[in-house]
Amino acid sequence: MNAPRRARTLPAIVGQPWSDEFSPRVPHPISTVRRALRTGRYSVSAELFPAYCSSVTQPETAPAVASTPPARSSIAVIAAVAVTVLAWASAFVAIRYVGHSFAPGPLALGRLLVGSIGLGLLVLVRRTWVRPTRREWLLIALCGVAWFAVYNVALNAAEQSVDAGTTAMLVNIGPVLIALLAGALLGEGFPKWLLIGAAVACAGAVLIGYATARPGGAPGSPEADLLGVLLCLVAAVTYAIGVLAQKPVLGRLPALQVTWLACTIGMVVCLPFAPGLVHDLSVASLPATAGLVYLGAVPTALAFSTWAYALARTNAGRLGVSTYLAPPLTIVLSAVLLAELPAWLAVVGGVICLIGVALSRRR
């Protein structure tokens, strides 16, 4: 009698293997990946890097972590989620602060350099490596160029004129763009709730842009211009492109390996900014330099590990909701640390964007 065939679980196919239990070593049909993309279920924060941002639902039969007592495990998961979301939120504030001492390109290179070193050390500790195919290399390269290189440069440039809270709210429309691009490029169509959510999120983005891009900004907020708002949207688009590029790859390759490769490729693309980085480091203050190192070590490397730990031990759909806290936390941190607040109309637009993202995730 033939052995029972192992059921294919959606998380393993679309790139959720945060532990060895969820690390398939055989490719899965691309049609299944397309069905996953069609649902539009992705995490929200712009600081979510590709390997750790899937918010599809884990299988009910996910293996338990037997070596850790339930109560202690729950506390550890909550702590991991808290560290991750706080790190992602703080990244926007740190970029805004460090941006006064580092130009956008050199700042991106410095962050990716530190992040690549940190992620590389984690890869060495895990000692898990799967050789990518030629097609997988191309997709990883696209992810590295779009999400890690262009995204970081655009985000850094945007925060030269747009405050951290407004930037976080604008980039937060990324999940809607992912679903729309999947429908257009993969031929998966446009479900009703996706179109409704996209329209609501677009309205919120327009409201944020109107409140932010006026000459002189709003009372109590930093000056902003239309270019800064557009750069935020460029960051959101490249975020979406990066997710679509790496999703099929994560069906076979370990998530940490994919993220490190993409980060390293992004760093290589940013190498032309090396002379600027050397110059900025020579004149930057110690706190600014520490902020650059923080961006690479904490929101990039550490947050990957804590998100992976939590995602391997809890329901990913519920866990993805926690990323909605990133923009409000960014606004609070920006007010406390930088004495900056978005225009009140921009905050209203941010809430509308969040509602649109939530609606687009309905079936």
Q: Which residues, including other chains, have CB under 8 Å from residue 8's CB and lie 6 or more apart?
A: 28, 32
pLDDT digits (tens, 9 = 90+) for 295-350: 999 998 888 778 767 766 765 555 556 677 788 889 999 999 998 888 888 889 88
Q: At what angle do helices 286-295 and 104-126 cross, to 10 degrees?
A: 50
CB 251, CB 19: distance < 8 Å: no
First to last CA, the chain: 40
DSSP for 225-280, written as a single string:
-HHHHHHHHHHHHHHHHHHHHHTTGGGTS-HHHHHHHHHHHHHHHTGGGHHHHHHH
Spell out the long-range contacts of 120-129 with Cβ–Cβ below 8 A and sequence spacing 24 or more: 120/260, 120/264, 122/256, 122/260, 122/301, 122/304, 122/305, 123/256, 123/257, 123/260, 126/254, 126/256, 128/20, 128/23, 128/254, 128/256, 128/257, 129/254, 129/257
pLDDT of residue 73: 66
C-alpha–C-alpha distance, residues 9 and 138, integer Å: 26
pLDDT digits (tens, 9 = 90+) for 146-173: 999 999 999 999 999 888 988 988 888 8
Q: Which residues, including other chains, have CB under 8 Å from residue 233's CB and lie 6 or more apart?
A: 170, 173, 205
Please give the mean pLDDT across all residues of the chain.
77
- The total number of residues shown for the chain amounts to 363
**Of the listed ranges 122-126, 160-164, 173-177, 349-353, the one predicted with least confidence:** 173-177
Six token digits for residue 335: 């007010």
What integer is the mean pLDDT of 177-206?
81
C-alpha–C-alpha distance, residues 115 and 23, integer Å: 23
CB 302, CB 124: distance < 8 Å: no
CB 311, CB 52: distance < 8 Å: yes
